[in-house]
Structure formats: structure tokens, C-alpha cells
Structure 1
């Protein structure tokens, strides 16, 4: 079965600015919260799946985030409470292990991006190509993203954090053919201390996959089909 994991522990999701009473994730653009935009791609899926959200306890105490998740995603969404911060999205996602079986497919996405593409079609393409780890990329050179590095044969050889080693940046959408594969790659990256500035990004387990020799592929989407609500300035740009 397909399991979709949304890590929501990152402090950047709950930042406020001087003109905002609510945190970034609950800011509204044309009557919809950033969180709603981030989950809109789920409507494209025609198959059944389980939603798993990992959020900090303070977010529910201050903003009743659980109720918002259930209204936006599903009343049956699984919600995992975290009392403290984690060492990064990779560690956060591992907390969802109680809700998956080894043979389940895994998608990891974020709560502060907008994907204006049919993700069901993209996942179907990964399946047709027997992809073990699937990525989604777009054109950029900004140092806030992670980047795909390819060799002369156009094969993916590395994913690099916060450095434009190409113009192929990654969205926060990751597909894993099996949950057992994700667990093995993630724990290997952690055991080897594959962190960047003491943060374990999902790119760390992608590099472990490349080292193992499993099939990693990426599909490129049009840049205007992807928007990341990186900060309040980006929210203003999206509104415009």
C-alpha cells in the first residue's frame, strides 16, 4: 500500500513575521492556507493511500494543527506527536515506521510547497520504469535547494545540498519503491553521519541509494509548476 509521509517538525514552518499573527504554514493566500496548497496534489491520486503527518506538540497546542490536518487531508490521517525537534527531515520521517510495512511504497513530501502537476502520473511512471528511488526536479541555480549531479552518460551520481552543481534542483517529493529500502538507506546515512551542517536531509539517503547501486531516477517538471513557500517574501510572490 502507498504511504505518504509529511514531516512537519521543522521550525521554519512555524516562523512568524511582524505583520503575521499566525505562523507561515497557516498564512492564507486567496482564502487558502499554505498547508492547503501543499496538500492539493493529493487530489490527483486515484488509488488508496495512508497519510502520515509528524508534527511538534506545540503546533497542536497553539494552533490545533491536528484538526486542520484532518479537515484538509483526511479524518483518518495518522498523526505522530513529537515533543522536541529532530536532527532533520530524514530523522523525522523515520518516526513514521510504526505505520508502514516493509513492502509498502513510500512518498515523502513537504507541508510548504505547491506542486501543480499530476503526481499520480509521475508515481505510475516510476513504477513502469521499475524505479527504486524516484525524484522530481525543476530548473534553478539558487543555493537554497539540493541539486542533482550527473555524469557524462546523464546518469545521476550524487545529490548535493545547498550548492548548485547543476541547474537541476529537487522538489521536496521523494518516492521509494519499498519502505524497507527507505529504512535501510535512512539508517545507513545516519550511522555514517551523512549530515549537512548537522542536519540530516533526505538527500543523504539518496546518496546512500546511489552507493548501493539501486535504480534512482528523476522526472523534470516545468519550473512554473513548482512553488516553495520558503519564507514570507515567497508567500507574497505567490499571491501576486
Structure 2
């Protein structure tokens, strides 16, 4: 399986911590990037971390990825600005085997799930793609509409349901994602002038493909997009 870890946007930078990438912020004694690496260490295929080129050079993130995986994982640099997460991810998949499954995760969050089990479940259910959802109505998230637990519509920054996606996306073939994003770009299907990953599901739906979901509790989703998120999480753990 191909795994992409997205950590290339400016929103992955912690302005409250000397502008270090959020993935280097320590939580429970470990950098977030190490916790994520531990979760995806099962992968025997290609695992790629995407960082901005300037951050690789400044913080030696390529060395960190190598050390965390004993040389198994790779890092890819992307330009300082892209037209959104979907375009960033597209840069990461162009050199990957397009027939392999693809798992995309974000480097500024943690989910209390087993990614290997999630991918296996999506495949065993004969899905062409899939995502993890939790209950929310906040417009910061992407959303999917379900019919009998199958995705029939996807949106970004627009609560069209209570099914927010947790920033994790699986595709039965990497080519499904690649083709969907290229089609979005052809249609200029932007949101706030950016191309996002979740709306790529709409291109698959138009092709009659099946998109499944795994539901989690809100307590299993831990976004780390500001220092306050880290502090809140630390406070919760101190009470346990």
C-alpha cells in the first residue's frame, strides 16, 4: 500500500513554538511525527512524508523521517505554495505505483484507530474509496452525505451533514485519487480558491464508485492545529 503523510502547508506551522512545524511539537514525551510514524509502521509498501522544501532544509525533516522508520519511509519536498492539499498530495503520488491502494493521513492530528484495520475493512467491504467520520457541524471540516453508510456527496468547509471527515482517506487504487484530482482541476472545482481532498470523492461518485466510511467517536479524533489543541489534550491526559 502507498501511504502519504501531509505536512507541507503553512497551517502545519506552529507560530507559538518558534515556527517549528506542528509535527515536531512534543506530546507525551514524543514529537507528533513520531506518534504518526508508529501508527503507520505496519506498511510494507511506500510511505512518503510531504514537507515544504524550506522546512526540510531548515529542520532536517528528511533525516527525522529516516530515523523514525529505520530508513523505510521517504520524504518528498513540495513548493512553498500549492493550490491546496489535493494538489500537494498529487505531487506526492505521481511517482508511486498507481495500482497500489493509497492511504492519506494528516501530520497535524491523531486518531485513536488502527490504520491497518481501517484499510483492510474498506477493502474487504469492496469499497473503491473510504474515509473516517465523526459527528460535527463546524465549518472547518469536510463533510459527506451517507445513504446506507455509503457516501453519495462530499463537501469542503460546508456542513451538508453531521458526518465530518477526520482527514483520513483511502483509495483502492492510487490511480483513483490521481484521476479524481486531475478531473477536479480540469473543472476548477475550488473551495476558497483551493483544491481539497474530500471533494475528489464526488468525481468517483459520478463514475459509480462505492465509498465507505468508518465511524469514530469525537473523543477519538485529536486535531493539533494550534498550541491550544496541544494544551487541551495534555490537560485531559493529566486527569487520567
- When normalised by structure 2's length, the TM-score is 0.90
Structure 2, unpaired ranges of 5+: 236-240
CA distance in 1: counterparts of 2:210 and 2:70, whole angstroms:
32
CA distance in 1: counterparts of 2:74 and 2:21, whole angstroms:
22
Name the Cα RMSD after superposition.
Answer: 1.8
Provide Cα deviations, 1:100-133, integer angstroms capped at 9, x if missing partner: 2231111111111111111211111111111101
Partner of 1:190: 185
Question: Is 1:125 paired with 2:141?
Answer: no
Question: Is 1:177 paired with 2:175?
Answer: no
Match of 2:136 among 140, 158, 161: 140
CA distance in 2: counterparts of 1:31 and 1:60, whole angstroms:
22
CA distance in 1: counterparts of 2:95 and 2:153, whole angstroms:
30
Q: Which is worse superposed, 70-79 or 218-227?
A: 70-79
CA distance in 1: counterparts of 2:199 and 2:161, whole angstroms:
18
- When normalised by structure 1's length, the TM-score is 0.90
Q: CA distance change for structure 1 residues 65 and 130 in 2, over 3 Å: closer, same or farther?
A: same
Secondary structure (helix, strand or coil) at the match of 1:160 reads: strand
Alignment of 1:3-152 (within 5 A): 3-17=2-16, 20=18, 22-43=20-41, 45=42, 48-151=44-147
Partner of 1:206: 201
Q: CA distance change for structure 1 residues 154 and 105 in 2, over 3 Å: closer, same or farther?
A: closer
CA distance in 1: counterparts of 2:108 and 2:61, whole angstroms:
14
Structure 1, unpaired ranges of 5+: none
Q: CA distance change for structure 1 residues 74 and 195 in 2, over 3 Å: closer, same or farther?
A: farther
